[in-house]
Structure 1
Amino acid sequence: MTVTGEDSELGTDPLDPPLMAPLRRDLTWPQVQLRSQSVSYRDDPELRRIRATAAIRRGTRMTKVLSAAQVAGHLGGWLPYGFCYRSCDLEHLRDPAELALLRTDGSVDSEVTFALRWRATDPIDYEVPASPAQPGLAALPAHSRVGAMVLGTGFSPSTDDLIPEYVTAGFADLPIPANAQLLAYVPGGDEVVLYTYQPEQHGWLRLAGPRWRGLLGEIPGASPDREYVPCTASASARLVGRIDDKEYEAVADPPGEFRVRALTRAARYPVQTLSRRAEQALWRGVPAWVLQRDETWARLRLLRPEGEAVNLTGARCYERGVYEAWAPVDELADHHIADIAYQL
């Protein structure tokens, strides 16, 4: 995160454009920080311009801070979803206790903090948790929330820092790109890469050396001696690509490689088109992703959580901003496969 004057020039990574604030005599750093934490400034044009500088590009490194239980879920096949951050905005936070405040499941009881880091496949996969994308999120009552409150300014609650936050678009599951990493942050500020994702095998390769194997013991169900962990859960979203008139399951390796998913390297041809495919439906008039279903029941996640939608569906908050419910399949309306196309 960088705060600069209006005329400053920065030599930065184009995939990680800095957060910039035009500090002046009448707009000091304490004032910007105060505005970011005040619901009175949700629609402030100047604060929105500052927030808009924290852009996501194809290939921008993204981070979701996790608890040990969530790490176990991702090892089993969970996809990135919900609240997340640009990695460059968190680089100054290495202490586990500081990072733990950004967890989404409300847990704060560990000396080690974990994270999932990946590169963005496309900016359309992310939105600011504020109006107009998520107008009702900040108004949800405290008794139905998990984790920190949502301010509606686009910034995370903090007394000192200015941390822009994102959510996956419509709280969707995003297909996990190649070379995503599961990390641990330990006392003293060390960052440890525990696993890296292998998309063709749909599993995680252990990278933690002998010094850090003890960290794996904190993850429910994880074995420190297991070098490869296959994902067992079926994904609710996947990438599909086309070559000429034929469709293939695809793999993203942002920023520049999008290929056919194949075990042999010779068959990993670049795709000509790419899209994210998932199921959507309406239940009681509320739009939702269909995460799982059988002949009778479907597990749904609300696209735009707000008070009336939560009451109509009886959805429960499982993580910060993530509201899910079970619905009878025969009550679903407009049940369809949605393809979200990317521009290559």
Structure 2
Amino acid sequence: MTVTGEDSELGYDPLDPPLMAPLRRDLSWQQVQLMSQSVSYREDPGLRRIRATAAIRRGTRMTKILSATQVAGHLGGWLPYGFCYRACDIEHLREPDQFGLLRTDGTADSDVTFALRWRATDPIDYEVPASPAQPGLTALPAHSRIGAMVLGTGFGPSTDELIPEFITTGFADLPIPANAQLLAHVPGGEEVILYTYQPEQNGWLRLAGPRWRGLLGEIPGASPDREYVPCTGAASARLVGRIDDKEYEAVADPPGEFRVRALTRAARYPVQTLSRRAEQALWRGTPVWVLQRDETWARLRLIKPEADVINATGARCYERGVYEAWAPVDELADHHIADIAYQL
């Protein structure tokens, strides 16, 4: 639908610009929705213009739909990665069964839908799961996929919704910003915030009260009585910032605060530069992220999943679009630390 200037004065958040479609007598909303579900319209200029209005800005609220098992992973230290959505594009979905096609791990619907919500540190951390960024996603064979197929139009598969999809750029892990939330959607349309992330303590503070003990009990390994859950896994990506000529581990609290990571508030100085740091390499000629490693083996994630690359590497699909493999460290080429710089 087209949003006019008058509409934009009615409370739209500038950090969450609305999806806009120029509807006409010969182009109804139903036609746009059908175009978004057809591979024939992947290169259609009109559909691409509509998709381009779904912009991510610094501070845009992002959401990834999770299973209970994935929630447990994030409580243990997983970072945001893979398929995600702008929160404003799915905030009209309230009941758990409405999120079925947005799940990434292929699990069946349940009575509760979980989610991770955070604010984007920078638009360069996100891309559209379609050509030219990810040309191979649409051609992945069904036997090697988990979750819904990728249409390549930039929209998620749906019979009646128009929901723009995003992935983290190159399926990278993103350092989790301050005040990210783990939440649940329960029958009746209520949204329950379960935990919020506290970066200086590297853990999750429980917000859900006694009424929601049953929800917390559905998360594998989670105790309803724990008020604070520290992240125990080593992060594969982190933020670094500089003040003058010194480098510090940094924390993002978008849209406007980027600071030194420090326990005491007085030491949380704003950084002058900011970048995302992670390990990259080539394995069998394929660009990969190095998620973890020891002296012998490394866990790798494909940056651009394609059918021939999956065959060459033997990578396995762990969730929608995410392909990982283990490889001997001595087989890695061009193994290096990559710094992706942000413009503050």
State the TM-score, normalized to the length of structure 2.
Answer: 0.98
The letter for the 2-side match of 1:10 is S
Partner residue, 1:4: 2
Match of 2:134, SS state, is coil
Q: CA deviation at 1:26?
A: 1.6
- Given that 1:6 and 1:23 are in contact with CA atoms closer than 8 Å, whether structure 2 keeps it comes out as no
1:37-48 matches, within 5 Å, as 37-48=37-48
- Given that 1:155 and 1:163 are in contact with CA atoms closer than 8 Å, whether structure 2 keeps it comes out as yes
Partner residue, 1:27: 27
The letter for the 1-side match of 2:193 is V
Task: State the distance in 2 between where 1:57 and 1:206 align.
Answer: 28
Q: CA deviation at 1:101?
A: 2.5
Task: State the distance in 2 between where 1:284 and 1:105 align.
Answer: 27
1:143-222 matches, within 5 Å, as 143-222=143-222
Task: State the distance in 1 between where 2:221 and 2:242 align.
Answer: 38
The letter for the 2-side match of 1:278 is A
CA 1:61–1:5 in 2, change beyond 3 Å: closer, same or farther?
Answer: closer
Would you say 1:101 and 2:125 are equivalent positions? no
CA 1:7–1:256 in 2, change beyond 3 Å: closer, same or farther?
Answer: closer
Task: State the distance in 1 between where 2:234 and 2:7 align.
Answer: 46
Match of 1:101, SS state, is helix
Would you say 1:342 and 2:338 are equivalent positions? no
Corresponding residue pairs, total = 342
Show CA shifts across 1:307-335 (max 9, x none): 11111100000000000011111110000
Partner residue, 1:77: 77
Task: State the distance in 1 between where 2:301 and 2:145 align.
Answer: 15
CA 1:6–1:255 in 2, change beyond 3 Å: closer, same or farther?
Answer: closer
Task: State the distance in 1 between where 2:224 and 2:4 align.
Answer: 50
Show CA shifts across 1:52-94 (max 9, x none): 0000000000000000000000000000000000000011101
Task: State the distance in 1 between where 2:233 and 2:5 align.
Answer: 50
Q: CA deviation at 1:8?
A: 6.6
Match of 1:225, SS state, is coil
Would you say 1:332 and 2:338 are equivalent positions? no
Q: CA deviation at 1:100?
A: 3.1
Match of 1:177, SS state, is coil
- Given that 1:101 and 1:108 are in contact with CA atoms closer than 8 Å, whether structure 2 keeps it comes out as no
CA 1:157–1:226 in 2, change beyond 3 Å: closer, same or farther?
Answer: same
The letter for the 1-side match of 2:116 is L
- Given that 1:194 and 1:206 are in contact with CA atoms closer than 8 Å, whether structure 2 keeps it comes out as yes
Which of structure 1's runs of 4+ aligned residues deviate more than 6 A? 5-8
Q: CA deviation at 1:9?
A: 4.7
The letter for the 1-side match of 2:297 is W
Task: State the distance in 2 between where 1:137 and 1:100 align.
Answer: 20
Q: CA deviation at 1:30?
A: 1.1
The letter for the 2-side match of 1:246 is K
State the TM-score, normalized to the length of structure 1.
Answer: 0.98
Task: State the distance in 1 between where 2:26 and 2:205 align.
Answer: 52
Task: State the distance in 1 between where 2:2 and 2:217 align.
Answer: 43
Task: State the distance in 1 between where 2:3 and 2:74 align.
Answer: 40
The letter for the 1-side match of 2:219 is I
CA 1:21–1:6 in 2, change beyond 3 Å: closer, same or farther?
Answer: farther
Task: State the distance in 2 between where 1:108 and 1:260 align.
Answer: 41
Cα RMSD for the two superposed structures: 1.0
Would you say 1:113 and 2:113 are equivalent positions? yes
The letter for the 1-side match of 2:2 is T
Q: Percent identity?
A: 86
Query: Which runs of 5 or more residues in structure 1 are unaligned?
Result: none
Q: CA deviation at 1:28?
A: 1.0
